[in-house]
Amino acid sequence: MPELSQQSCTACSADAPKVTAAEKQALMESLPQWELVVLDGEEQLKRVFTFKNFAQAQAFTNQVADLAEAEGHHPAILLEWGKATVRWWTHKIGGLHKNDFIMAARTDALY
Ligand SMILES: C[C@H](O)[C@H](O)[C@H]1CNC2=NC(N)=NC(=O)C2=N1
């Protein structure tokens, strides 16, 4: 199986399964900078990326947005001076799908 960052999202439907606890634990080993959070009852992956200024954070944000649009899978991104906070989860299943781990790894590859 290729590295997470070499994979692309798969189409997922509202009845797609969330990752299991065992899958989560294994996948998180590839994402040491990310944390698992629960917001509005939905489990998500979160990482804060830091930059020297707003312009660099904005450029990174745009790269992540372009990646998301290309993959048809979209994050929440908070853009601030010197920081971009990225959260990945799958809206239609209200939690984490393997796609979210793939996109987190692809986000790391942009940094
Ligand atoms: C119609 C459109 O493809 C779907 O709504 C996609 C868009 N991007 C998405 N992004 C994320 N993170 N979760 C989704 O369930 C999702 N669904």
Pocket of ligand 1 (CB under 6 A): 72-74, 90-92
Contact 75, 107 (CB under 8 A): yes
- Domain boundaries of the chain, sorted by first residue: 28-110
Q: How confident is the model over 78-92, as a mean pLDDT?
A: 98
11-55 per-position pLDDT tens digit:
888 899 999 999 999 999 999 999 999 999 999 999 999 999 999
Our mutation pick for probing the ligand 1 site, out of 90, 96, 97, 102, counting the most ligand atoms within 8 A of Cβ, is: 90
Q: Which residue has the tokens 């799908």?
A: 97
Query: What kind of fold does domain 28-110 have according to CATH?
Result: Gyrase A; domain 2 (3.30.1360)
CA–CA gap between residue 110 and residue 61 (Å, rounded): 10
User: Is this prediction's ipTM beyond 0.90?
Assistant: yes
Strand-pair partners of 37: 44
Q: Give the number of the atom of ligand 1 that is nearest the alpha carbon of residue 99.
A: 12
Beta carbons of 90 and 15 less than 8 angstroms apart: no
Q: Nearest Cα to 17, choosing from 106, 104, 99, 76?
A: 99
